[in-house]
Structures are given as structure tokens and as C-alpha cells.
Amino acid sequence: MFKFYVTFFDLMTFRIKYSESENQIPAIDNDQFCVDCISNSKLNFMNIIHTNLGFHSTCDDVIQGIDLTGKRTIVTGGVSGIGIETVRALAKAGAEVTIAARNIEAAKKVASEINFILDKDRVDAAVLDLADIHSVNRFVSDWKGALHILINNAGVMALPDLQKTSDGIEMQFMTNHLGHFALSVGLHNALKKAEGARIVVVSSSGHLLSPVVFDDINFSFRPYDPWQAYGQSKTACNLFAVAATQRWAQDGIFVNALNPGAILTNLQRHVGGRLRSAPELHKTADQGAATTILLATSPLLEKTGGHYFENCNESITVTQRPENYEGVTMYSLDRNNADRLWNLSKRLIRY
């Protein structure tokens, strides 16, 4: 059983630290208390994290006053949409940013354009194909030194036909979760060197469409459905944030997931290149990247992980799918599910 040590730092937010050993309990100050984690799910009595930001907030709104000089960051898929806005915001705040993308020419072009605008040489590019475990391993092998922020941004959505990797892994699950899992695990030591690293996982409201179907992840028995495949891959993103924080918080690594919202990007290329949600729910790429930047840089998220955010605030848990597709499911934050996925993912990447 984990013990959580909860320190309140204002009326609406708090930090969580835990120790895996019940025999090593730190001293508790007057403003600190200890509670046993007796539920496998997210603890319902905990205050969710609120900010004064919201749906319309932009990256500049979020990162105002934050200096990232000396911070080294990686953004996967930073060649379009919210990925470009994420890279731009981090570099503008002083961070060194590596765009990790399959299309290296596109990545170099984005890096060059942002460097030109900033008149600084802060952004570079490297090859990374998340659907190819060998490419992931090469990227990890080439990375040297500490890593302060890893943003698992790349993804695919609703592939119309069942596609599998050479190892037989369904392509959405591989790209959206398993490739990023392998990348994060491979970069663990670099993240640990940062002594306070963050991993930001771009999930989706699509997780409301399906839990992880552990007995048939690759659609070997059930008929393939593009949205069920997408849904389980994004549920996996949330569960990774829970499992990785549980295992790596003691190394100073905290992981959170987010829903960027409805943004018209290349992600919709398999569904007619349009958004199906109501126009009032649509965001610009800048607004969509704002929650990513919040999780990557805000002091409110220091030493805090295992959460799911949207519209720059932590989401409430829901027991059924709401019409506006906001909120986070209990099954995507469940610790037993997170542990099961972690162990399965290790086996699949032969770690």
C-alpha cells in the first residue's frame, strides 16, 4: 500500500509526495498530514487543481513570466498543429527544444522558422518514428545529458482500416501509447538527471470512447473499429501518467495527461479533414496547446502527477460519457488498470 503525504499550498491546490515504504515515514509538519490510499481509483475527496485560466487561454497566457533558460525539452510530432505551438512557446520562454518527428525535413523546416523568428538557435530536430521500436531505441541512444521536459504529443486518430506493426501491434495503440511508453522508459535516466522532470502526455476526450481492452488490444478477435481503437489508445495515455508517476516520483519525475480540445489539424485527415463537434467547442492550435504548456511549466504542477487536465484545469471524473465530451473516466485513472498496462507494455517492447 502506498502512503500519500499531502501538503496544502493554497486553498485550491496541493502537492502530493509518496513513499513506497511504510517503514520510512517522514516527519509531518503542522500543515501536513498523511492519508492511506485505500482506493484503487483516484481519491474522490482530493481537491482538483484549479487555475484562473480556461477554454480560451493561449500559450502566452500560460507561460507569461516563466523562464525556461537552461531547460532541455523534447516534443514528439512538433511539426504541425498544437505541436508547433508547443515548440514555439517553449523556445520563446528560453528552453532548448528538440522536435522528434518521423518527417525530419518537416521538423527541420519548423525548427528553422522558429529560430529565425526568435533570432536564437534554440530548436533542433531529430528522427523518431514511434511505430518503429528500433527508431525509438536509436533516438534514446543518441540523447545525451539531462532532459527536463518530455512532451508526448504525436498521435494518429481513427485509422479507417486495421493496421499493425511488424510485431503485430495495432497502429493507433503503438503510435499513441506504446511508442511513447518505450521513449519515456528509455529516457528515464536522462529525466532523472534533471532532478525535477516532467512528462506531459497529450491524451484526448476520445478516451471516453473505450477502456483498454486488455484481452484483445490488437483486434485479433473483435471487429476492428477506428474509434474504439483510438479510444483505448488514449485511455492508455491516461493510465501511463498514473503508473509512471507511481514508479518515478521518487526519482523526481512526474507525469500528467491532458485533452487539448477540438482543434482542426492533420489529426483529422482520416475523418474527412473536419471537426464534427459544435463550432463553439472548437479551439485554435494556440489555445489547444495551452494546457500542454501549463502541465510542462506551471509551478502549480511541481511534484504533482497522475492527473488529467482540459481547458487548463484538472478534469472532474465522470461515470458516463457526457454530451460535451468533457471529464475523465475512472477506468482511465484506476491504479490496477495502470499497473496492468505498465506490465503489458514492458512485455510488448521487450523491456
Question: Do 24 and 123 lie in a common domain?
Answer: no
Residue-wise pLDDT tens digits, 111-145: 999 999 999 999 999 999 999 999 999 999 999 99
**Domain housing 174:** 54-348
141 strand-pairing partners: none
Q: Does residue 105 sit in the same domain as residue 173?
A: yes
Q: Which residues pair with 66 in a beta bridge?
A: none
Q: What is the torsion angle, in degrees rounded to the nearest 10, for the CA atoms of residue 275, residue 277, residue 282 and residue 286?
A: -50
**CATH code (residue 199):** 3.40.50.720
Same domain flag for 22 and 104: no
CA dihedral (223, 229, 231, 235) positive or negative: positive
Is residue 237 within 8 A of residue 257, CB to CB? The reply is yes
Residue 227 placed within a domain: yes
Query: Residue 17 pLDDT > 50, yes or no?
Result: no
261 plus 191 within the same structural domain: yes
Neighbouring C-beta atoms of residue 94, cutoff 10 Å: 15
Model pLDDT for residues 168-198, shown as the tens digit of each residue: 999 999 999 999 999 999 999 999 999 999 9
Whole-number Å distance between alpha carbons of 175 and 182: 11
Is residue 48 one of the residues assigned to a domain? no
Pairwise CA distance, residues 220 & 218, whole Å: 6
Bridge partners for 97 per DSSP? 73, 123
For residues 183 and 152, give the distance between their C-alpha atoms in angstroms, rounded to a whole number: 9
Do 153 and 33 lie in a common domain? no
pLDDT over threshold 80, residue 280: no
- Per residue in 232-253, pLDDT tens? 999 999 999 999 999 999 999 9
Contacts of 301 (CB under 8 A, 6+ apart): 49, 198, 254, 256, 294, 295
- Count of H-run helices and E-run strands, the chain: 10, 15
Q: How many domains does the chain have?
A: 2
Q: Establish how many alpha carbons lie within 13 A of residue 38's alpha carbon, considering only the half-sphere containing its beta carbon.
A: 4
Specify if 108 maps to a domain.
yes
> Do 150 and 295 have their domain in common?
yes
Check whether residue 92 and residue 177 sit in a common domain: yes
Does residue 46 belong to any structural domain of this protein? no
Same domain, 11 and 157: no
* Neighbouring residues of 204: CB distance < 8 A, sequence distance ≥ 6: 155, 157, 230, 234, 237, 259, 260
pTM metric for this prediction? 0.85
Task: Please give the residue that has the higher pLDDT: either 268 or 329.
Answer: 329
Query: Which residues participate in catalysis according to the annotation?
Result: 230
Q: Please state the rounded mean pLDDT for residues 50-62.
A: 96
